[in-house]
Amino acid sequence: AQTVTQSQPEMSVQEAETVTLSCTYDTSENNYYLFWYKQPPSRQMILVIRQEAYKQQNATENRFSVNFQKAAKSFSLKISDSQLGDTAMYFCATIAHSGNKLVFGAGTILRVKS
Amino acid sequence: SQTIHQWPATLVQPVGSPLSLECTVEGTSNPNLYWYRQAAGRGLQLLFYSVGIGQISSEVPQNLSASRPQDRQFILSSKKLLLSDSGFYLCAWTFGRHNEQFFGPGTRLTVL
């Protein structure tokens, strides 16, 4: 079975600064994917970034990047130049390559302050 | 491009009344479809998923049911709502080979 742990229930950051959200996971799968989703106050779930476990290179999407440490089963999200619109709940998730079900963490509420 | 629709956006129902939430996907065929429930400020709980027409897998035993009468249509139902059924219901579908899920806008259900 897969599990995802987000140990930070809430975080805050000043506008334009950098923040890192933590995520650890456990899986017995060899091939899997990792994701970060963002849920703003509108509650629409938005895919932020995807990492394929067999790729060593960390994924990057504009101001969002990950630090993927496969041996440590860690998948943190770094948000650079934080913007007010980044205020949201962030969920880490994983799924096996051949799986049907995403496993989500409990989420981290991020507040960007002006 | 692919889009996913959910309706209604908001629903207020009395205890004991029936429920029908609908989710439809456009622009793809044979997607995997999912129903999640989310309590306020909490994570997502997978309720049902479907890999094809008429194929439903239930994750949590409760008074809800799901059906997939057409390839791109997924329906969440209840014969008699409970107070504990209140929450935010999200439909999602799987796109492409990376198993990433894309979510609909959600339905906010309040049972009084």
Residue A5 pLDDT exceeds 80? yes
Mean pLDDT of A77-95: 97
Architecture of domain B3-111: Sandwich (2.60)
**Contact present, A37 and A106 (Cβ < 8 Å):** no
The chain A residue lying nearest B91, using CA atoms, is A45
List chain A residues with CB under 8 Å of B47: none
Domain boundaries of chain B, sorted by first residue: 3-111
Unique residue bearing structure tokens 């981290």: A108
Residue A48 pLDDT exceeds 80? yes
For the domain spanning A3-113, the CATH number is: 2.60.40.10
Amino acid, res. B33: L
Mean pLDDT of A55-81: 96
Domain boundaries of chain A, sorted by first residue: 3-113
Query: Which pLDDT band, with edges at 50, 70 and 90, does A112 fall under?
Result: very high
DSSP state of A84: G
List chain A residues with CB under 8 Å of B44: 91, 104
Residue B61 pLDDT exceeds 80? no
The tens digit of pLDDT for each residue in B62-105 reads 889 999 999 999 999 999 999 999 999 999 998 666 678 999 99
Instruction: Retrieve residue B81's tokens.
Output: 């709502």
What is the reported pLDDT for B97?
65
Spell out the alpha helix ranges (H) of chain B. none
The chain A residue lying nearest B43, using CA atoms, is A106
Contact B98 A104 (CB under 8 A): no
Contact A95 B44 (CB under 8 A): no
Q: How far is CA A39 from the centre of its chain?
A: 11
**Contact present, A96 and A27 (Cβ < 8 Å):** yes
C-alpha radius of gyration, chain A, whole number: 14
**Contact present, B60 and B39 (Cβ < 8 Å):** no
Query: Which pLDDT band, with edges at 50, 70 and 90, does B28 fall under?
Result: confident
| DSSP structure string for chain A | --EEE---SEEEEETTS-EEE--EEE---SSEEEEEEEE-TT---EEEEEEETT--SPPEETTEEEEEETTTTEEEEEE-S--GGG-EEEEEEEEETT-S--EE---EEEEEE-
